[in-house]
Homo-oligomer: A and B are copies of this chain.
Amino acid sequence: MTFNQIFERFSSRYLPASLSDAAMMRFRALGRALPVIREAPVSLDENADHLVYVCSGATKLVAHASAGRDQVVAFHFPDELIAVPARAEHSYTLYTVSPSELLVFDYADFADLARGEPAVLRMLLDCARKSLGRCRDKSLALGRKTAPERLAGFLVGMAVRIGAPQDDITFLDLPMSRRDIADSLGLTIETVSRQFTLLREQKIIETVGKSGVRIRDLLALEARAGYLIEAA
Question: A residues within 8 Å of B by Cβ?
Answer: 63-67, 69-71, 73, 83, 85, 87-92, 111, 114-119, 121-122, 124-125, 128-129, 131-133, 135-140, 142-145, 149, 183, 185-186, 225-229, 231
Closest B residue, CB atoms, query A112: B122
Q: Contacts A65-B228, A128-B129, A229-B66 hold; do A73 and B136 have CB atoms under 8 A apart?
A: yes
Give A226 to B92 CA distance when docked, in angstroms: 14
A137 touches B63 (CB 8 A): yes
Give A92 to B119 CA distance when docked, in angstroms: 28
Q: Report how many copies the assembly holds.
A: 2
A226 touches B144 (CB 8 A): no
Q: Contacts A128-B128, A129-B83, A228-B90 hold; do A71 and B139 have CB atoms under 8 A apart?
A: yes
A140 touches B90 (CB 8 A): yes
Q: List 18 A-B contacts (CB under 8 A).
A: A63-B139, A63-B140, A65-B145, A65-B228, A66-B226, A66-B228, A69-B226, A73-B139, A83-B129, A83-B132, A85-B133, A89-B225, A89-B228, A90-B140, A121-B122, A124-B125, A143-B183, A144-B186
Give A133 to B124 CA distance when docked, in angstroms: 15
Give A92 to B133 CA distance when docked, in angstroms: 11
Give A115 to B117 CA distance when docked, in angstroms: 9
- The listed residue (B83, B117, B227) touching A66 by CB distance below 8 A is B227
Closest B residue, CB atoms, query A182: B143
- Residues of chain B contacted by A91 (CB below 8 angstroms): 228
**A208: min CB distance to chain B, Å:** 27
- Residues of chain B contacted by A89 (CB below 8 angstroms): 137, 225, 227-228
